[in-house]
Amino acid sequence: GELRSSRLEDLEIEGVFRATKDYIDFCLLKEDVNPFISQIELRPLPEEYLHGFATSVLKLISRNNLGDTNDDIRFPDDQNDRIWKRKATSTPSSALPLSSNVSNVDLKDSVTPPLQVLQTALTHPERLEFVHDGLETDDYEYSVFLHFLELNGTVKAGQRVFDIYLNNEIKKEKFDVLAGGSKNSYTALNISANGSLNIT
């Protein structure tokens, strides 16, 4: 596979790929200047993480924790040692942070974010909008995974309902966080985009 970036500020690239042998080859190709790597870190992920993807290589654009912590969250809080960065996308200035010490949540599978990530959130009375600028300018397919945990114990199914848009195209109508009978849920959405991605 190939991970390509033309942006100088890309100092860290995280990719996910299936290992087909008992060793890994990495190759850097020279373009304008000599390429270099300061560090390579290999971390195993469960097979479910790539379930349903036809491609063998995925480049991470962003994995965000919408909490108020300044530190990245990773192992041991996330058993898969994914790196959850503090919100790195532009958000409404009037968005309010929420947090809860919810503890009796059954995180059903190994792909679910750690509870430390799910216990924090942002809210807004009308709309939350997250903008990812500076994406590659060619058309690429993007997969967006949104994870939710109901932090208010008094909210019932049918009350926390909203629409989800990607680049102003409605992708999920009347998404209900509690519809499956659990406090936590997620949705996976796909879109073709170039240059920027807006999640509303």
Q: What are the DSSP calls for 100-145, one per residue?
A: ---------STTSPPHHHHTEEEE-SS---EEEES--SS-EEEEEE
Each residue's pLDDT tens digit, 153-177:
889 999 999 999 999 999 999 999 9
- The percentage of the chain sitting over the pLDDT mark of 90, rounded to a whole number, equals 20
In this prediction, residue 92 has a pLDDT band, given cuts at 50, 70 and 90, of low
pLDDT score of 15 more than 90: no
The overall pTM is greater than 0.75: yes
pLDDT digits (tens, 9 = 90+) for 95-146: 787 777 776 676 766 678 888 888 888 888 888 998 888 888 889 889 899 9
Structure tokens at 15: 């990719």
Query: What six digits make up the tokens of 47?
Result: 């097979």
